[in-house]
């Protein structure tokens, strides 16, 4: 399978030499074995931070544009206003197994998982690392592994669970049931919480996961598995953590104004990916790709069921996080695009002001709200939603009378708060049951057929890529892709 075309310890060494933006460790020479990499703190640290560098080094990758953009197009957030077959397949929910982007969404997480496995093995066996560094790199490696598996199971369903570096054993590994993969995700995050500290390591930028990042992702994993008691508990731990806040100052020039939420190291950031390729003043691949020069190619949906009308009148998220373009030749046609990232191209040679947001503090309130409502704690859940709405300048909600009523409030707030961020809307539509009560149907079945006439229920999962199936005799296609 393509997931296992690993380059063994050479991959780790490559990242040691490419991550100096994250931590200055010098350039190790002639260190070709993992046992050597985990002899000292500097090279062990470089092995893990190099993964983050590779996650964000190039455009249209799993860890930047692709997961966000393809998730948005697979759902109902925005479309691509041109013809590109690989994009059209996601927009129309008719992804083919040979789609090059589906292949990237599969192969890159497995690449990072292998490297995380190598770090877990190498750091665990080391007798020369300091206890502080050993805990840090082990915690980060477990976090990375959990993070990648979270996206794999939500995009592809059952996937091979590979937890070591034995290529021969893993090459033809069959798909593991989703529930077992989630068990491994949760175990990794629980352990990462124990190993990591609240402070961000090294230069204190929010570009390496800390205990709060592991806690937030754990809260999400519990929520997706309908363990609402623990989801509420973990989300509450994030909310009460010092150093984080919703940015809601009324003065746009103030550092705490909501337009500053996506700046590097903002108090709303729980984990970000640092810009690596700064050519021509680039800040984030997301901003560089989606902020238009003229007419936007990525346009938010604005039909009656679209994202634009989902915002209430006066919602500050719309005025501050949505861009507007009116073509001069047709002033009656207005195009809207996500504008959370403000910088398309900055000034060459000037330090970037924005980093790619991966985990954001606001999600903790939304997780706790949903978990509370699912436990019939309607007033408490409503209050969490009202915290989010207050920042947006909206009036308070009334207490819902039922779980069904409360969940519609949750759905609406998640849609307008987390739009164009890491496929949240797509994953929500797939994980929530249909309000029709029809067994096996999801909210995607309720909503997407209105604008996607070719919609099929099996489209909630992307196809297992052709290259993976060709190289692993035990991989089977997802339903609907035979």
Note the pLDDT tens digit of each residue in 262-290: 999 999 999 999 999 888 889 999 999 99
Range of the structural domain that residue 464 is part of:
1-209+445-482
Give the model's pLDDT for residue 368: 99
Give the model confidence (pLDDT) of 7-30 as tens digits: 334 444 444 444 444 333 333 333
Give the model's pLDDT for residue 349: 85
Give the model confidence (pLDDT) of 326-340 as tens digits: 888 777 789 999 999
Give the model's pLDDT for residue 83: 85
Percent of the chain with pLDDT over 70: 93
Indicate the pLDDT class of residue 357, thresholds 50, 70 and 90: very high
Tell whether 236 is covered by a domain: no
CA distance 40 to 123: 10
CA distance 430 to 437: 15
Q: Which of 36, 51, 52, 67 is nearest to 462 (CA)?
A: 67
Indicate the pLDDT class of residue 408, thresholds 50, 70 and 90: very high
Tell whether 138 is covered by a domain: yes
CA distance 220 to 206: 19
Tally of structural domains, the chain: 1
Q: Which of 407, 430, 390, 335 is nearest to 81 (CA)?
A: 335
Give the model confidence (pLDDT) of 58-101 as tens digits: 999 999 999 999 999 999 999 999 888 999 999 999 999 999 99
- How confident is the model over 384-392, as a mean pLDDT? 98
Give the model's pLDDT for residue 21: 42
Contact 413, 388 (CB under 8 A): yes
Give the model's pLDDT for residue 330: 72
Q: Domain with 136 in it: what CATH number?
A: 1.25.40.390
Q: How many whole angstroms from its chain centre is CA 32?
A: 32
Max mean pLDDT range (291-305, 319-333, 394-408): 394-408
- How confident is the model over 205-231, as a mean pLDDT? 98
354: region left, alpha or beta (phi > 0 left; psi from -120 to 50 alpha): beta
Give the model's pLDDT for residue 32: 35
Identify which has the larger pLDDT, 412 or 346. 412
User: Is residue 322 classed as helix, strand or coil in its secondary structure?
Assistant: strand
- How confident is the model over 365-384, as a mean pLDDT? 98
- How confident is the model over 229-249, as a mean pLDDT? 97
DSSP bridge pairs for 356: 273
- How confident is the model over 213-234, as a mean pLDDT? 98
- How confident is the model over 216-233, as a mean pLDDT? 98
Give the model's pLDDT for residue 34: 65
Tell whether 356 is covered by a domain: no
19 CB neighbour count, 10 Å cutoff = 23
- pLDDT beyond 70 at 240: yes
- How confident is the model over 381-395, as a mean pLDDT? 98
What is the rounded average pLDDT for all residues in the chain?
92
Tell whether 267 is covered by a domain: no
Tell whether 359 is covered by a domain: no
CA distance 102 to 82: 19
- pLDDT beyond 70 at 232: yes
Give the model's pLDDT for residue 138: 98
- How confident is the model over 458-475, as a mean pLDDT? 97
- pLDDT beyond 50 at 5: no
Give the model confidence (pLDDT) of 112-171 as tens digits: 999 999 999 999 999 999 999 999 999 999 999 999 999 999 999 999 999 999 988 999
Q: How many whole angstroms from its chain centre is CA 446?
A: 24
Query: Cα-Cα-Cα-Cα dihedral of 210, 214, 215, 220, to 10°?
Result: 140
- pLDDT beyond 50 at 1: no
Give the model's pLDDT for residue 447: 97
Give the model confidence (pLDDT) of 22-53 as tens digits: 333 333 333 334 668 999 999 999 999 999 99
Give the model's pLDDT for residue 30: 31
Tell whether 113 is covered by a domain: yes
The tokens for 345 are 């191209």
Tell whether 33 is covered by a domain: yes
- Residue 433 backbone dihedrals phi, psi, to 5 degrees: -70, 150
Contact 163, 232 (CB under 8 A): no
The distance in angstroms from the start CA to the end CA of the chain is: 18
Give the model's pLDDT for residue 173: 96
Tell whether 269 is covered by a domain: no
Q: In the chain, what is the greatest distance between 2 CA atoms, to the nearest angstrom?
A: 69
Threshold 0.85, pTM exceeds: yes
């Amino acid at each position: 399978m393509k997931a296992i075309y690993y380059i063994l310890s050479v991959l780790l060494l490559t990242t040691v030499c490419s991550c100096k933006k994250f931590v200055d460790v010098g350039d190790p020479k002639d260190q070709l074995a993992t046992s050597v990499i985990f002899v000292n703190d500097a090279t062990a640290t470089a092995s893990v931070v190099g993964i983050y560098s590779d996650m964000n080094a190039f455009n249209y990758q799993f860890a930047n544009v692709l997961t966000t953009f393809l998730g948005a197009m697979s759902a109902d957030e925005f479309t691509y206003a041109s013809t590109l077959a690989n994009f059209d397949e996601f927009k129309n929910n008719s992804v083919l197994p040979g789609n090059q982007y589906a292949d990237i969404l599969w192969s890159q997480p497995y690449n990072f998982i292998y490297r995380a496995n190598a770090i877990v093995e190498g750091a665990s066996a080391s007798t020369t690392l300091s206890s502080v560094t050993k805990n840090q790199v082990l915690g980060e490696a477990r976090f990375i592994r959990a993070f990648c598996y979270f996206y794999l199971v939500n995009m592809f369903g059952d996937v091979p669970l590979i937890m070591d570096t034995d290529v021969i054993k893993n090459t033809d590994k069959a798909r593991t049931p989703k529930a077992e993969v989630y068990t491994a995700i949760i175990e990794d995050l629980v352990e990462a919480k124990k190993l990591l500290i609240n402070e961000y390591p090294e230069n204190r930028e929010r570009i390496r996961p800390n205990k709060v990042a592991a806690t937030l992702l754990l809260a999400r994993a519990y929520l997706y598995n309908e363990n609402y008691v623990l989801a509420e508990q973990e989300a509450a731990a994030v909310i009460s953590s010092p150093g984080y806040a919703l940015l809601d100052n009324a003065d746009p020039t103030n550092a705490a104004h909501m337009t500053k939420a996506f700046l590097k190291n903002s108090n709303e950031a729980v984990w970000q990916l640092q810009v690596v390729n700064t050519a021509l003043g680039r800040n984030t691949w997301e901003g560089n790709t989606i902020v238009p020069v003229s007419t936007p190619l990525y346009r938010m949906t604005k039909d009656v069921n679209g994202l634009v009308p989902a915002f209430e009148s006066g919602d500050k998220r719309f005025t501050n996080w949505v861009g507007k373009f009116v073509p001069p030749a047709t002033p009656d046609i207005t195009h809207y695009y996500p504008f959370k990232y403000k910088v398309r191209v900055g000034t060459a040679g000037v330090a970037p002001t924005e980093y790619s947001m991966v985990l954001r503090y606001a999600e903790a309130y939304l997780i706790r709200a949903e978990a509370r409502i699912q436990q019939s704690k309607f007033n408490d859940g409503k209050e969490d939603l009202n915290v989010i709405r207050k920042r947006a300048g909206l009036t308070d909600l009334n207490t819902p009378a039922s779980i069904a009523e409360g969940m519609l409030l949750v759905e609406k707030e998640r849609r307008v708060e987390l739009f164009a961020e890491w496929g949240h809307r797509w994953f929500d539509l797939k994980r929530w049951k249909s309000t029709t009560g029809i067994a096996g149907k999801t909210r995607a079945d309720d909503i997407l057929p209105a604008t996607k006439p070719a919609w099929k229920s099996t489209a909630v999962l992307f196809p297992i890529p052709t290259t993976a199936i060709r190289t692993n005799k035990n991989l089977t296609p997802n339903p609907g892709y035979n």
